[in-house]
Amino acid sequence: MKPTRRGVISDWGGVLTPPLVDGIQAWLQADRIDIEHYYEVMRPYFDGSLPDNPVHALERGEVDTAEFERDLAALLRSTHGGPIRAEGLIQRMFASFEPVHGMYETLRAARNAGHATALLSNSWGNGYPREHLESTFDTLVISGEVGMRKPEERIYLYTCRSLGLDPEDCVFIDDLEHNVATAESLGMSGILHTDVDSTREALSLLLAPSDERQPA
């Protein structure tokens, strides 16, 4: 099939950073938090069993970050017998999410070739490396800033509109299968990210050559 896609939409955590589990494990060890208990506490937040999920509310910007930190810290258990420090908990949680420069270079190459690029990230109120993002993307869609989250269809459509493109014009990259599945259901080409090389190769097969792109 001839490559025709003119835009790239990429996740942040787990795509432009090392795998999420690596960063979380580093934080748990640094903060001396009981790892098994953490996963036990967090399981209901991610298995869909909570009707009013605080994580989903946080990602949409509906919950104050400091409030979420206090609530989460109260649920966790330390390995040193003392309390978990709530203040700055999310900042510490994401402190080890270092940039994967190969992915940034891949996306910048696509942008330099004339393809539109967008970040689409579910935020926990964490900071982002804006100096890297702003040199890579035409637009940044961060869930807490727009009041929507993946895998809600509306945030994908919002991101496409921000680029001036239809879903059928776009490639979507994410490390979570259910996020990719929603993008594909809307007409995008999906790439389930596992490593830089395979994502770069998949992208090269989907993006239209720069001399064959049509204006949006």
> Cβ neighbours of residue 116 under 8 Å, at least 6 residues apart?
6, 7, 8, 138, 163, 164, 165, 216
The whole-number pLDDT of residue 212 equals 52
The whole-number pLDDT of residue 50 equals 78
Give 130-144 pLDDT, tens digit per residue.
999 999 999 999 999
CA distances from 174 to 9, 12, 42, 182, 211 (A): 9, 8, 21, 11, 27
Is-contact 187 156, C-beta < 8 A?
Answer: no
Give 27-80 pLDDT, tens digit per residue.
999 999 999 999 999 999 888 777 889 999 999 999 999 999 999 999 999 999
**Is pLDDT of 215 > 50?**
no
| Candidates 3.90.1010.10, 3.60.15.10, 3.40.50.1000, 3.10.450.50; CATH matching 7-18+98-212 | 3.40.50.1000
Neighbours of 82 (CB within 10 A): 8
> Where are the chain's structural domains?
7-18+98-212, 20-93
The whole-number pLDDT of residue 216 equals 44
Pick 103 or 216 by higher pLDDT: 103
Q: What mean pLDDT do residues 87-91 have?
A: 96
Give 165-207 pLDDT, tens digit per residue.
999 999 999 999 999 999 999 999 999 999 999 999 999 999 9
